């Protein structure tokens, strides 16, 4: 599952984190994905989920936690996936420098990754979660190129998920799903249409907007069995301004 949970923002009023945090945890528990890639999680949000997502471990290796950063973060189901090692870096010209950003990026952006063990099959795979900038088109392109180079250096089974703030078919999408990257878009593998129903951003309204910007990209080592955009809500109140997107995978 990839899930942009919307950062803790006091200007969200009735949609502020304190009013929807239980629903975020409830929906993850309800659908019970083996692996969750969270975007926009600030430190207090991630610590809340760490406490309330029973059955999950959060992977935050050597992370510098502060109150301002929005961290892409992996949560792994204890009974299904173990992270052996991993790390994270900023999508900038100086990836090791905390909160670094370049080009026209509105915010510092980051990628987190882990080398995971599927406990059932005993196979290893790379899982990565990221969030590209929402305003800077040049930043998105440069950030995508950094991720592309990282993925190219890993030849094994790979899952890349996140909020890419771009449309299918864009140059960012084309790069990350190119022959050289060896990743494919799970939605496209199933032959699903690109229409209003595929859009994953809705601004807390439940009315799809913009495009299908939340992707799960997988290597040839996986078969995509099913995919769903999760529109769960509580009497019209939504857990985030994005829908979570979840795929069912099996080893090829």
Which position has the token pair 């430190």?
43
Tokens of 51: 């406490």
Higher-confidence residue: 10 or 44?
Answer: 44
pLDDT confidence of residue 189? 98
Closest to 200 in 3D by CA, of 234, 159, 247, 157? 247
Domains of the chain in sequence order: 2-251 (3.60.10.10)
pLDDT confidence of residue 10? 87
Q: What is the mean pLDDT of residues 163-180?
A: 97
Closest to 144 in 3D by CA, of 192, 178, 187, 116? 178
Q: What is the pTM of this model?
A: 0.97
Q: What is the mean pLDDT of residues 106-116?
A: 97
Give phi and psi for 106, each to the nearest 5: -70, -35
Q: What is the mean pLDDT of residues 76-92?
A: 96
CA distance 250 to 107: 35
Inter-CA distances, 85 with 27, 48, 59, 115, 126, Å:
27, 23, 9, 5, 10
Residue 61 pLDDT grade (very low, low, confident, very high; cuts 50, 70, 90): confident
Percent of the chain beyond pLDDT 70?
100
Per-chain mean pLDDT for the chain: 97
Using CB atoms within 10 A of its CB, is residue 52 exposed (0-12), middle (13-18) or buried (19+)? middle
pLDDT per position as a tens digit, 174-220: 999 999 999 999 999 999 999 999 999 999 999 999 999 999 999 99
In 10 A of CB 66, how many CB atoms?
A: 11
Contacts of 204 (CB under 8 A, 6+ apart): 12, 15, 238, 240, 241
pLDDT per position as a tens digit, 115-140: 999 999 999 999 999 999 999 999 99
Strand order in the sheet with 2-4: 56-59, 71-77, 35-41, 2-4, 245-251, 222-229
CA distance 41 to 15: 15
3-class SS letters over 116-156? EEECCCCEEEEEEEEECCCCCHHHHHHHHHHHHHHHHCCCC
Would the pLDDT of 104 be above 90? yes
Helix (H, G, I), strand (E, B) or coil at 74: strand
Residue 94 pLDDT grade (very low, low, confident, very high; cuts 50, 70, 90): very high
CB burial of 10-30 (b: ≥16 within 10 Å; e: otherwise) equals eebeebebeebbebbbbbbee
Q: Are 2 and 163 in contact (CB under 8 A)?
A: yes
CA distance 205 to 112: 29
Q: Output Rg (C-alpha) for the chain, integer angstroms.
A: 17
Would the pLDDT of 108 be above 90? yes
Residue 164 pLDDT grade (very low, low, confident, very high; cuts 50, 70, 90): very high
């Amino acid at each position: 599952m990839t899930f942009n949970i919307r950062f803790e923002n006091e200007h969200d009023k009735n949609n502020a984190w304190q009013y929807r945090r239980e629903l975020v945890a409830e929906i993850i528990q309800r659908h019970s994905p083996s692996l969750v890639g969270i975007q926009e999680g600030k430190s207090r949000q991630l610590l809340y989920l760490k406490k309330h997502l029973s059955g999950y471990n959060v992977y935050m290796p050597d992370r510098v936690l502060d109150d301002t950063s929005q961290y892409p973060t992996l949560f792994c189901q204890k009974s299904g996936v173990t992270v052996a090692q991993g790390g994270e870096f900023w999508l900038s010209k100086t990836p090791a420098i905390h909160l670094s950003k370049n080009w026209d990026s509105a915010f510092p952006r980051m990628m987190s990754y882990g080398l995971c063990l599927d406990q059932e099959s005993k196979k290893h795979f790379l899982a990565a979660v990221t969030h590209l900038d929402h305003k800077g088109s040049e930043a998105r392109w440069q950030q995508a190129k950094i991720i592309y180079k990282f993925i190219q250096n890993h030849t094994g089974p790979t899952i890349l998920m996140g909020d890419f703030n771009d449309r299918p078919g864009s140059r960012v999408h084309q790069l990350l799903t190119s022959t050289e990257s060896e990743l494919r878009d799970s939605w496209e593998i199933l032959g699903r249409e690109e229409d209003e129903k595929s859009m994953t951003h809705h601004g807390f309204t439940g009315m799809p907007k913009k495009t299908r910007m939340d992707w799960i990209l997988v290597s040839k080592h996986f078969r995509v069995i099913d995919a769903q955009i999760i529109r769960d809500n509580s009497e019209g109140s939504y857990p985030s301004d994005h829908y979570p997107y979840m795929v069912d995978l099996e080893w090829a």
